[in-house]
A and B are shown apart, each in its own frame.
Chain A
Amino acid sequence: MISAKQKLVIRTDLYRCGRDFVIAAIWLAAIQVFFAIVNLIFGGIGFGDLLDDLRGIFSGWTFIASVTPFVYFLITPYSNFKWTIQNGISRKTLWRSQMISAVVITLIQELAIIIFNFLANGSLSEKIIYNNSISIWWGLLFELLLLFETTMTAMAIGYFFGLLSRKWKLIVAIGGPILAMFVIYYLTLFLSKLGIFELIGANWSINLTGQAAETAIIVTLITCVVVWTLLMMLVSRISAKHMQLRRD
């Protein structure tokens, strides 16, 4: 049962995310139309080429549909927290509502991507998994899972950054990736010194071209995506629980 407060949050998320998409889509379309006309007038292209240029708008819209929810959930958790707590909506309700919003938005996003892809290329979806044994529907489901994972990652980062002051946001945003690179570099070096890679190489006997190996790769991929999604949900929930009005 969805409460009135949850409905308010979900409605606001859908409206704002949709509005952001429309604004970005209009801008992109305007830019592409402008350059298509410039190309027609000064480039001496034919009418058929103009239509091809204009069809490029749909490719642009596919890209915008892919990134809008990510950007939305990345930058709005703190501002959402502010107006919801002003209206007596708890952190728990905010987070739960945003989870529902994320599911609904991802479904709409997937549908939009399919439609724009079809209009741009004439195919239903870009093939993510190049495997003939997997139907297009399973491919779309996997794409949906990946989109949801991306949204959850954005939400986790957004909520976590919502806990930080401006100064710490800057420190973490710059220092975090640098630290991660150092950690990965030295971890790789360490594993290499231990001879782990040679050990794996010597014992690598899976036939990657076989059906079983392909299924194993897909299962591994899906498991990784699901585990990562759950982890991101946990990060966003914990961050939401500790979110409070900042003094900056």
Chain B
Amino acid sequence: MEALKISHLNKNYGRQTILNDINMTLEPGKIYGLLGRNGAGKSTLLNLIVNRILPNSGTIKLGNDDINDNDAALTQFYLMSEVSLYPKHVTLKQMWEMADLSYGSFNFNRARRLLKEFDIQDENVKLSNLSTGLQTAAKLIVALSVNANYVFLDEPILGLDANHRDVFYQELLKAYEENVKTYVLSTHLIEEIQQLVEHIFILDNEKITVDADVDDLLAEMFVISGPAMLVEEYVKDQNVLGTRSLAGIKTAFVRGALSEEKEIPDQIQIKHPDLQQAFIYLTKK
């Protein structure tokens, strides 16, 4: 399995710049999170990677090969997205057969098992006849059973209830254990994927602003809370991303190593944020 390398990628729609000089590398066998606020360009980036849309400039390479119009490369990618590109009256079974013919070795057994897990009665049901949540589930079944080395999941839990979301997370890990692939999850439910993803990319202001392992990112971020005056004094020379005050208690979000010379007052509490908190302050306007 080869790495996927994106270099100097730009995408505009008319005069509107969506992505500007995107550079990133996806290594084989990792689970990534692609995060960004609404309209940040996450779906555009994923569509560019799988060649659904074409960039204005820049390259996307799998190993040394450009992915554009390259069947060998495209066979290694599968993008499950909110928008359905399948024919109008397609049945789930037909979706599986298409994936089997295109990618080869579709895991029909897993697909049939997942059908039951997601409470879908029949593989001959039409995709368009399912509810929003079950349509997502049907597309997830293909994504988790397809023989592609890079699986991109754009809003994979859209409309799924808590039980089905849990099924998805469990099955994703199971599929990953059975056959190590690269998964890229793009979602707004950051709290739920924190335990799954190893590395995250944050898209903000047309660029990748964070490209880091989750543990490393959270290790360099701190939530400092306590009496307002003490907190203000303590974070004075730090890289403060944002603050929040409630009933005289101030909370500051700091990125970067804390000064070792400064003594930490007893009333001040310091901890690491969770991924969602980190995301909010890293992308705050």
Contacts and interface: CB of A to CB of B under 8 A. Distances in A.
Task: Indicate, yes or no, whether A interacts with B.
Answer: yes
Contact of B13 (A87, A89, A247): A247
A90 B86 contact: no
Interface stretch (B50-58, B168-176, B224-232, B265-273): B50-58
The SS class assigned to the A binding surface is helix
Contacts of B235: none
B7 interface: no
Interface stretch (B28-36, B97-105, B213-221, B238-246): B97-105
Nearest to B80: A86
Contacts of B99: 87
B69 A90 contact: yes
Given A90-B70, A91-B69, A245 B52 contact: yes
Contacts of A108: none
B87 interface: yes
Given A89-B102, A90-B51, A244-B53, A83 B71 contact: no
Contact of A5 (B53, B76, B86, B101): B101
Contacts of A5: 71, 101-102
Contacts of B102: 4-5, 8, 87-89
A178 to B, nearest CB: 26
Contacts of B77: 88
A92 interface: yes
A55 interface: no
Contacts of A4: 101-102, 104
B103 A92 contact: no
Contacts of B200: none
A127 interface: no
B85 interface: yes
Interface string B70-104: 11001111110000011100100000001101111
B103 A83 contact: no
Given A87-B99, A247-B13, A242 B50 contact: no
B71 A93 contact: yes
B78 A82 contact: no
Interface string B108-152: 000000000000000000000000000000000000000010000
B86 A83 contact: yes
Closest 6 CB pairs of A and B: A87-B102, A86-B85, A82-B85, A88-B74, A244-B53, A245-B52
22 contacts: A4-B101, A4-B102, A4-B104, A5-B71, A5-B101, A7-B101, A8-B98, A83-B87, A85-B74, A85-B85, A87-B101, A88-B71, A88-B76, A88-B78, A88-B102, A88-B103, A88-B148, A89-B102, A90-B74, A91-B69, A245-B47, A245-B85
Given A90-B69, A93-B71, A245-B53, 14 more contacts: A4-B104, A5-B102, A7-B101, A82-B85, A83-B86, A85-B51, A85-B52, A85-B85, A86-B85, A88-B71, A88-B77, A88-B102, A89-B74, A245-B85
